[in-house]
Amino acid sequence: MTDPEPETGATDPRTAWDTPERCPFCETSLANGGSAFIRHVEDRETCRVAFESWRGRVASDIGGEWIG
Ligand SMILES: [Zn+2]
């Protein structure tokens, strides 16, 4: 069983994510922080795993599901 690790163990995306037009996980430039970002994380396994982990952390922080 393979378990790909996010490359961003040291950086907390919640504080690093000050540029919506850039993926906070791999720093790839994006057309926008919405649909282009979603397409990006769906396309890149590493970022998808990191994003889902981040989203889970935020959801538990605010006590609800993050709806974007
Ligand atoms: Zn990325």
Specify the pTM: 0.60
Per residue in 38-61, pLDDT (tens digit) is: 999 999 999 999 999 988 887 777
Report the separation in Å between the CA atom of 66 and the middle of ligand 1, taken as the mean of its atom positions: 19
The answer to whether residue 28 sits within a structural domain is: yes
The answer to whether residue 11 sits within a structural domain is: no
Instruction: Please tell me the distance from the alpha carbon of residue 62 to that of residue 49, in angstroms, as a whole number.
Output: 20
The answer to whether residue 56 sits within a structural domain is: yes
The answer to whether residue 8 sits within a structural domain is: no
The answer to whether residue 42 sits within a structural domain is: yes
Report the separation in Å between the CA atom of 23 and the middle of ligand 1, taken as the mean of its atom positions: 5
Q: Which of 55, 54, 36, 56 is nearest to 44 (CA)?
A: 36
Per residue in 10-49, pLDDT (tens digit) is: 555 555 566 778 998 999 999 998 899 999 999 999 999 9
Report the separation in Å between the CA atom of 1 and the middle of ligand 1, taken as the mean of its atom positions: 23
Q: How far is CA 10 from the centre of its chain?
A: 14
Q: What's the structural domain count of the chain?
A: 1
Please tell me which residue, 54 or 62, carries the higher pLDDT value. 54
Report the separation in Å between the CA atom of 64 and the middle of ligand 1, taken as the mean of its atom positions: 25
Instruction: Please tell me the distance from the alpha carbon of residue 56 to that of residue 8, in angstroms, as a whole number.
Output: 15
Task: Quote the domain boundaries for residue 58.
Answer: 18-62
The answer to whether residue 44 sits within a structural domain is: yes
The answer to whether residue 1 sits within a structural domain is: no
